[in-house]
Amino acid sequence: MFRHKPPSTGPGPAIILVLALFAALTSCEPEPASDNPTRETLPSGAVLVRYPTLPAVDSVGPEVIEARVDLKFGSLEGEDLNVTFGDVRGVQAASDGTIYVLDEQAAEVRVFDSSGEYLRTIVRRGEGPGEIGSANGIRLSGDTLLWIHDTGQWTIMGVDPTGEEIRRFAKPVMSYGYIWDGVFDGRGRYWRATTHGDDDPGYPPPPGLSLWSERRYYKSYELSTGAIDSVYVGEARFRSYGYSTPAGWGFLPLPFEAAELIEVNPSGGFWRANNASYRIVRTGEGGDTLVVIEAGLPVQRVTDEDRDAYVEGIVDDSPELRRQAEEVAALMPDVKPLLEGLFVDDEGRLWVERITPRGAPAFYDQYSGDGDYLGSVRLAFDAAGPIWIQHGSIYARVVDEFDVHYVIRASLP
């Protein structure tokens, strides 16, 4: 006898197939593009590493570490002046967590333990052994030698952890910036950049756009022999826009200008990049290319709104400069820079700082010397100047709304 089959209460074959496909798709988390680089050897022998993309500067996830402050010390006022800083220009840390702080205003190097407690002052202002005129930076070599960049006596002095002077040598480059940017390499040489040019527009500047160039060098000083040498790293081209009014003369800023970034690699050679693109090159001292890192980050274009905002910003302060401001706005490039700077940490890793929106935290990508992406770091604090990476922690100075200087540490997982 024929029996009517009741309708099925389960999904049909087509529905089962769709559900299975959906489950397969949703169960596979997308792989970060940074996990899928291409690596090839160029005819020159250089290695080219391409990353399809990298985490956005506002992204979260396993590839992005947020560096949070776990130690902060300093004081606006108090009984112990040793923890009151006038102008912090350098912070260094030993392997046991001991922290060295250079206060430029007091011309002192003070020592603190890993919890921020004051221990002693090892360097003071003076003209004798182990004393400085003024200084704008310090570098710790291992745990036994602290180099101090003495801008008052035009020397670089090395002291031991007690402050006893070990050696001193004259600065090979007779200039300095706000914070010392010299580098000691792994071969016992000290490096610092210098430039030479003949067509500087001079002062006061001629009205309008001026163009000039300078030859760029890195000068080295051999610590063991005192020999001085230099490496030519190319020509830098500059633009400036001068103006003159009855009230005086000056320069108008040229926003979004491209520039070359160069950083000495302590293991040898240099890291270089043009900040308008994400293309970073490691070269030897002779200029040969060894490693190239490229990433497919979106281009940020200069818009008409950017140009208009620049003009109105100048005119708000100086209405008589509208014509000049409009000329500068027309000179702006088509794209905005992507990179802020480069530096190498104590373990030889390259840190690439990206440009972030105004008010946003600083953001860094990390690479090995061979171009392997090691992750990104976002600062959860506003560093006033450079950061120093030592023994798995970030050290920096921060300045509050009262212009009080503090030293902070943020440990990296």
**Residue boundaries of the structural domains of the chain:** 69-172+385-413
Across the chain, what does the average pLDDT equal? Answer: 91
| In contact, 271 and 280? CB cutoff 8 Å | yes
34: confidence class by pLDDT, cuts 50, 70, 90: low
Q: What's the pTM?
A: 0.89
pLDDT at 133: 95
Residue 169 amino acid letter: F
pLDDT at 203: 81
Q: Determine whether 328 is exposed, middle or buried from the number of CB atoms within 10 Å of its CB (0-12, 13-18, 19+).
A: buried
199: confidence class by pLDDT, cuts 50, 70, 90: confident
pLDDT at 5: 34
Quote the Cα angle for 148-153-156, to 5°.
30
Q: What is the mean pLDDT of residues 267-294?
A: 97
The CB-based long-range contact list for 287-292 (8 Å cut-off, 24+ gap) reads: 287/233, 288/44, 288/46, 289/42, 289/44, 289/46, 290/46, 290/47, 291/46, 291/47, 291/49, 291/369, 291/370, 291/371, 292/42, 292/46, 292/47, 292/48, 292/49, 292/371
Q: Residue 194 pLDDT > 50, yes or no?
A: yes
Q: Determine whether 151 is exposed, middle or buried from the number of CB atoms within 10 Å of its CB (0-12, 13-18, 19+).
A: buried
Which helix (H) or strand (E) covers residue 195, if one does?
A: strand 189-196
pLDDT at 23: 39
Look at 11-15, 78-82, 312-316, 393-397 and tell me which has the smallest mean pLDDT: 11-15
Q: Determine whether 1 is exposed, middle or buried from the number of CB atoms within 10 Å of its CB (0-12, 13-18, 19+).
A: exposed
| In contact, 378 and 42? CB cutoff 8 Å | no
Give CA–CA dist 85/108, Å, rounded.
10
| Phi, psi (degrees; rounded to nearest 5) at 317 | -90, -35
The superfamily (CATH) of domain 69-172+385-413 is TolB, C-terminal domain (2.120.10.30)
Q: Residue 79 pLDDT > 90, yes or no?
A: no
Q: Residue 170 pLDDT > 50, yes or no?
A: yes
